[in-house]
Amino acid sequence: MEENVAFLMKQVEDRQDELIALLKRLITYQTPAPPARNTKEAQHYIANLLKDLGFSVDVWDIYPNDPNVVGTLKGRDGENYKSLIINGHIDVAEVDDDEVWEIGPFDPIVKDGAIIGRGAADMKGGLAGALFAVQLLHEAGIHLPGDLIFQSVIGEEVGEAGTLECCKRGYKADFAVVVDTSDLHIQGQGGVITGWITLKSKQTYHDATRRNMIHAGGRLHAASTIEKMMKIIEGLQELERHWAVMKSYPGFLPGTNTINPAVIEGGRHAAFVADECRLWITVHYYPNETYEQVAQEVEEHIRKVAEGDLWLRNNPPMFEWGGSSMIEDRGEIFPSFEVDPDHPAVHTLMQSHESIFTQSPVLDVSPTVTDGGWLANAGIPTALYGPGDLENAHSVNEQLSIDQLIQFTKVMIHFIYQWGHTKR
C-alpha cells in the first residue's frame, strides 16, 4: 500500500500542471448563483470525467439547466469494506458587474503561486483536487474494495440543497467528506435557518383614522403592523441576548448564535395604515442544536411577547420557516453537524493529513455553513475538509494557493485509498 500511495504522491507533484489545468477548466464554466440555472455544461463535463474513470453516473435536473451529478464506483467487495461519499458543489458566489478583477472572474490566471478566479477557493479547488486524486488512483489500476460515490451538486450558494436531493435519492455511505472551503481543517459546523414573521390586521384603515387608534377617546382598537413589528424585533433581540448568555459551544465565540432581522416589508400605500408587515430573519445556531429546536424556541418566545400586547394578543404573529431556495421561495436551511473525533474515518483522515504535513490537522468548527449538514442529517457521519480559506471565498480576485491544492490532493489520495481498504 505504502509503495502505491508514495508513487501517486509523486505523480501529483510531477503532474501538477494537469491539476491546475483541471481547476482552471472548472472555473471557466460560469456557474454563479444567483442567477443560477447555469451549471448544465459544467456538470456534464464532470459527468463525462467520472464515466471515463469507470463510474456509473446519475444525472438529473433539480431545476432547469441545474442538474446534480452522482458517480458510483462499485468496490471489489463492497459488502465487507467501507464506503465513502465525496461531496462538493459546482455553483459559485455571484459576481457584481462593478467588481474589479485581474482579468475576469471566469478567466482564471496563475499569479504568485495561486490560481485566481471565481470559485477557486469556494469550492472548485476542492472538486478539482478530489477528481484528480480519483483519476490518479484509476490510472494506477487501483480498484478499491469499498464503494466510492462522487457527488457534484448544485445550489449550495442559494440554499437549494442539491445534496439534500442526493440523500432523498437514496445515496448513502459509511462516511462523507465535503471538500468545501476549510483551509484543510477537519470541521463540523453550526446551522442556519431563515424564517418569515408576519403580522396582519383583520381590517384595513385609511390613514386619517390614525388619530382614533392612538389618542384618548378614539375608541378604535387598531394598530400599524409596522409599529407592532418593532415589538417583535425587540423580543428577538431579547432572546438573542439570552442565548448569548445561556448557550455556548467549543470553538465558537460567545454570542455566535444570532437572530438577524435581515429584511422588513410592510404597508401598501402612504394613504393607509400598514395592515401587513413581514420580517425576514436569519438564525444561526450551534452544532449540537437542530433547526426545528431553534425555530420552536423563537416561536415560543415571540408568542409570549405577543400575549403581553393588547393588539398582538388578538392578532398573533404567523411564522414560516426554511425553504428550498433563496431564489425560488426566499428561504433556506443548513442543518448543523458535529464531527466525532473518535470515528474511524476521522482517525483515517487525520492520519492521511499527518502523512503529508507531518503534523496533526486542526479539528474545529466552521464559522460558516455547507451542505455537510444534509449528509449528517441523513445519518451519514460527515466531516468538512477542503482547500481554500474563507477570506478568499466570495471575494474579488478569489484565489487558491497552488501548494495547498497539491497537498490537499495528496491527502485525498491517501484517505480514499485507506478508507476504501478498511473492513467493516
Residue 373, C-alpha cell as written in the block: 449538514
Mark whether 105 and 168 lie in a shared domain: yes
Is residue 20 a part of any domain in this protein? yes
Mark whether 54 and 152 lie in a shared domain: yes
Grid cell 459544467 is found at 42
Percentage, residues of the chain above pLDDT 70: 100
Is residue 18 a part of any domain in this protein? yes
Mark whether 253 and 273 lie in a shared domain: yes
Per-residue pLDDT tens for 170-190?
A: 999 999 999 999 999 999 999
Question: What CA–CA distance (Å, rounded) separates 377 from 188?
Answer: 13
Torsion angle of C-alpha atoms 269, 274, 280, 286, degrees rounded to 10: 160
Q: For the domain that residue 217 is a member of, what is the CATH number?
A: 3.30.70.360
Is residue 326 a part of any domain in this protein? no
Is residue 331 a part of any domain in this protein? no
Per-residue pLDDT tens for 234-251?
A: 999 999 999 999 999 999
Residues annotated as catalytic (active site), given as ranges = 91, 156
Mark whether 297 and 380 lie in a shared domain: no
Q: What is the pLDDT of residue 4?
A: 80
Mark whether 175 and 215 lie in a shared domain: no
Residue 79, C-alpha cell as written in the block: 459488502
Q: What is the pLDDT of residue 5?
A: 86
Q: What is the mean pLDDT of residues 54-80?
A: 98
Mark whether 12 and 131 lie in a shared domain: yes
Question: What CA–CA distance (Å, rounded) separates 166 from 164?
Answer: 5
Q: Between β-strands 84-89 and 148-153, what pairing exists: parallel, antiparallel or unpaired?
A: parallel
Dihedral sign for Cα atoms in the order 239, 245, 247, 250:
positive
Predicted TM-score of the model (pTM): 0.95
pLDDT > 90? residue 309 = yes
Mark whether 182 and 258 lie in a shared domain: no
Mark whether 175 and 253 lie in a shared domain: no
Question: What CA–CA distance (Å, rounded) separates 345 from 327?
Answer: 36
Cα angle, residue 321 at apex, residues 315 and 327 outer, rounded to 5°: 120
Mark whether 309 and 358 lie in a shared domain: no
Mark whether 225 and 143 lie in a shared domain: no
What is the count of structural domains for the chain?
2
Q: What is the pLDDT of residue 62?
A: 98
Is residue 329 a part of any domain in this protein? no
Residue 325, C-alpha cell as written in the block: 431556495
Measure Cα distances from 14 to 17, 131, 341 in Å.
8, 17, 34
Percentage, residues of the chain above pLDDT 90: 98
pLDDT band at residue 6 under the 50/70/90 scheme: confident
Q: What is the mean pLDDT of residues 324-351?
A: 97
Average pLDDT over the chain reads 97
Question: What CA–CA distance (Å, rounded) separates 317 from 353?
Answer: 50
Q: What is the mean pLDDT of residues 376-386?
A: 98
Residue 376, C-alpha cell as written in the block: 449528517
Is residue 154 a part of any domain in this protein? yes
Residue 18, C-alpha cell as written in the block: 494537469
Residue 104, C-alpha cell as written in the block: 475576469
Domain boundary among the residues 286, 321, 356 is at 321
DSSP-assigned states of every residue in 12-37? HHHTHHHHHHHHHHHHHS--BTTT--
Mark whether 47 and 174 lie in a shared domain: yes
Per-residue pLDDT tens for 90-137?
A: 999 999 999 999 999 999 999 999 999 999 999 999 999 999 999 999
Provide, for the chain, the percentages of residues in helix, strand and coil under a 3-state DSSP scheme, each rounded to the nearest 5: 35, 25, 40
Domain extent for 261: 191-321
Q: What is the pLDDT of residue 1?
A: 63
Mark whether 368 and 290 lie in a shared domain: no
Q: What is the pLDDT of residue 315?
A: 97
Grid cell 459546482 is found at 90
8 — phi, psi (to 5°)? -70, -35
